[in-house]
Each structure stands twice: as structure tokens, then as C-alpha cells.
């Protein structure tokens, strides 16, 4: 029994029909689209979606009347409060080669766009690997860009930014952006935070938002679970994780907002841990260093 699925489907039945028609919209978060097995991981933490399941999910979006838009377009629609009905943004982290091999043809068949976030140290002229999986080459990135796929930054080396100093964070943001812009010959204004996002750390979030803005980013996503609304910073928009374990009923629940409770529960847990640690700990000292830029 999968608890998150069962509870989400139950909550979905309780939600009013107009719940999905307010100023919120879903951003789907994919990673790898391949037949690679993940038996060692629990269903929630899996990041691989098989090509056949991915095609089923995209077919559902199309048949249900969804249109896929860029993150910029989604943010603009949220800000204006119009054009959000049956609107979705599709994102892919890590720049794996299987996006080119397996995901793109399915998206193209439905005229869907997507945003792919690249950790630029692992993207090269020749094939490289990240997490033991082959990644895109710059030639493939340029080809996909010509067909309307948007590329954003996923830092240079994919570190947990929360553990870095201020200058190191800024270097990761600026260098990755500059590299993609040089390779594509066009501006890059989107960013995806790698690893779990420190949602409750206000000091870090403020510093990161400032660093992102100074580096020239306008839109960003993180791993906080939920649909995004107008109250959310456009630099830290929430997303909905998707993998092969998501059947169509669960995907529908996620799109309609019945899965947002996951993000709220995770937020309460993080806040409780923060309060339990209390002020003056080693983590707080490191955060002061980040805030001061040292």
C-alpha cells in the first residue's frame, strides 16, 4: 500500500470541482526517462520514469486538454491570474541523454515544450556521465534548443548549495549560466535548485534569491512539493515529482492539488527540526557566514 497515493486520492474526492481553477498551476519534475531499474528505492524517492509510462502520462495530459508552457509563461499567467486552466510546465533535472533518446520524441509528437536543467560540469563536447548515467552533449543541447526545448542552469557541479559559502554559491550560479549562454548563443534566465530545498531557512533563501537576481535569473524551481501560486517567489516555484510509480489517477490528483499536502507535511517536519536544534548551533554559525558573504 502506498500511503501518499491513497491519501491523495481520498483528498481528491473531497476537493470541490473548482479547486483546480484558482490561481495555481502544476510544474512537473522529471529526471530520467529510461528503463533503468530502481528497485532499491522506495516508490516516493524514485526519479526514473520508463518511456512507456512517460508516454501514457503525456497522452493523458493531451487528452485532458492540458497545454505545456515554459516556466516564464507560467509565471506570467500566475501573476495575471488568467490562462491557468489546464496549464502545465514540464521540467527535467540533470540533463541526462535519455531525454534526447526517449522523452523528446514523445513531447514533440504532442507539440509540448519542456525545460531541461543542466549541471554544466557534466555536459561536454564528448559524452560525459552524471550519477553513472550518460548526459547530453552540447551538440544535442543545441539541436533540442532549435526545436523549442528550453535550457536552464542546475549549477556547475550539482552541489548542495546550502553547504557552500556565499562566493562559492555565486560562482556556481554565474558560471553555469555563462556556459549555457555561450553554447546556445541566447540568454538563460531559469534555474533549478539541486537536492532538497531548505524551505524553512529564511536567511539562506534571502541570500540565494539575491544571488540569483544579481546573476540574471528571473525564474527558478525547487524540490518543495506542491503547485505554485502567486504568493510563491518566482525564483523558488514548487514542483510535483513524477516517476514510473505514478499511475494516471495519482498524476491527476497531483495536477488537481490533492498532492500538495505532502509539501505542507514536509514543511512542518523541517520547521520542527529547526526549532529542536535551536539558535546558536553550528548550522546557524555557517548561515551567518553565508549571509556575510565570507
pLDDT digits (tens, 9 = 90+) for 73-101: 999 999 998 889 999 999 999 999 999 99
Place of cell 532538497: 196
CB 24 within 8 A of CB 88: no
CA 145, distance to chain mean position in Å, is 19
pLDDT for 147-164, tens place per residue? 999 999 999 999 999 999
**pLDDT of residue 128 exceeding 70:** yes
CA-based nearest residue to 24, from 287, 286, 260, 269: 260
Does residue 8 belong to any structural domain of this protein? no
Q: CA of 160: how far to CAs of 155, 157, 197, 261, 262, in Å?
A: 10, 9, 9, 25, 22
Rounded to 5 degrees, φ, ψ at 59 are: -60, -40
Residue 7 predicted with pLDDT over 70: yes
> Would 138 be classed as within a structural domain?
yes
* Strand, coil or helix: 198: coil
What whole-number distance in Å separates Cα of residue 119 and Cα of residue 125?
A: 14
Helix runs in the chain, H state only: 3-14, 51-63, 71-80, 97-98, 104-109, 138-146, 166-184, 202-215, 248-256, 261-277, 282-292
pLDDT at position 223 over 60: yes
- State residue 273's pLDDT score: 75
Q: What is the mean pLDDT of residues 183-211?
A: 95
Q: With respect to residue 18, please indicate whether it lies within any of the assigned structural domains.
A: no
Residue 203 lies in a domain: yes
CB atoms within 10 A of CB 42: 9
Range scoring the smallest mean pLDDT among 142-146, 188-192, 225-229, 266-270: 266-270
Range of the domain at 286: 23-292
We report the CATH number of the domain holding residue 159 as 3.20.20.370
If we measure between CA atoms, which residue out of 176, 172, 223 comes closest to residue 28?
223
* 85 within domain boundaries: yes
pLDDT for the residue numbered 1: 63
Domain count of the fold of the chain: 1
pLDDT grade, residue 129 (50/70/90)? very high
**Beta-ladder partners of 68:** 88
Provide φ and ψ at 234, rounded to 5°: -70, -10
Distance, CA of 165 to CA of 212 (rounded, Å): 15
Does 230 fall in a domain? yes
Q: State which H helix or E strand residue 24 sits in.
A: strand 24-25
pLDDT at 8 over 60: yes
The alpha carbon of 135 is separated from its chain's Cα centroid by a whole number of angstroms, namely 18
Q: How confident is the model at residue 264 (pLDDT cuts 50, 70, 90)?
A: confident
What's the mean pLDDT when you consider all of the chain? 90
Residue at 4 is within a domain:
no
| 15 within some domain | no
Amino acid at each position: 500500500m502506498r500511503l501518499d497515493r491513497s491519501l491523495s486520492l481520498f483528498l481528491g474526492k473531497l476537493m470541490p470541482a473548482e479547486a483546480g481553477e484558482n490561481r495555481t498551476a502544476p510544474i512537473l519534475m522529471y529526471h530520467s526517462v529510461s528503463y533503468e531499474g530502481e528497485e532499491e528505492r522506495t516508490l516516493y524517492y524514485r526519479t526514473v520514469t520508463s518511456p512507456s509510462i512517460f508516454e501514457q502520462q503525456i497522452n493523458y495530459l493531451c487528452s485532458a486538454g492540458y497545454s505545456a508552457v515554459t516556466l516564464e509563461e507560467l509565471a506570467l499567467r500566475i501573476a495575471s491570474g488568467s490562462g491557468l486552466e489546464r496549464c502545465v510546465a514540464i521540467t527535467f533535472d540533470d540533463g541526462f541523454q535519455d531525454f534526447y533518446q526517449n522523452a523528446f520524441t514523445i513531447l514533440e509528437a504532442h507539440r509540448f515544450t519542456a525545460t531541461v536543467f543542466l549541471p554544466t560540469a557534466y555536459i561536454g563536447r564528448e559524452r560525459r556521465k552524471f550519477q553513472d548515467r550518460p548526459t547530453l552533449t552540447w551538440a544535442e543541447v543545441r539541436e533540442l534548443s532549435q526545436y523549442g526545448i528550453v535550457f536552464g542552469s542546475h549549477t556547475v557541479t550539482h552541489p548542495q548549495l546550502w553547504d557552500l559559502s556565499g562566493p562559492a554559491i555565486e560562482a556556481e550560479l554565474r558560471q553555469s549560466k555563462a556556459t549555457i549562454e555561450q553554447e546556445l548563443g541566447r540568454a538563460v534566465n531559469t534555474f533549478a535548485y539541486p537536492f532538497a530545498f531548505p524551505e524553512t531557512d529564511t536567511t539562506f533563501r534571502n541570500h540565494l534569491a539575491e544571488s540569483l537576481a544579481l546573476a540574471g535569473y528571473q525564474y527558478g524551481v525547487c524540490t518543495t512539493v506542491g503547485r505554485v501560486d502567486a504568493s510563491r517567489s518566482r525564483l523558488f516555484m514548487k514542483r510535483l515529482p513524477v516517476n514510473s510509480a505514478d499511475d494516471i489517477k495519482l498524476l491527476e490528483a497531483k495536477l488537481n492539488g490533492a498532492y500538495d499536502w505532502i509539501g505542507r507535511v514536509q514543511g512542518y517536519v523541517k520547521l520542527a527540526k529547526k526549532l529542536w536544534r535551536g539558535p546558536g548551533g553550528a548550522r546557524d554559525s555557517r548561515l551567518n557566514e553565508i549571509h556575510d558573504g565570507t
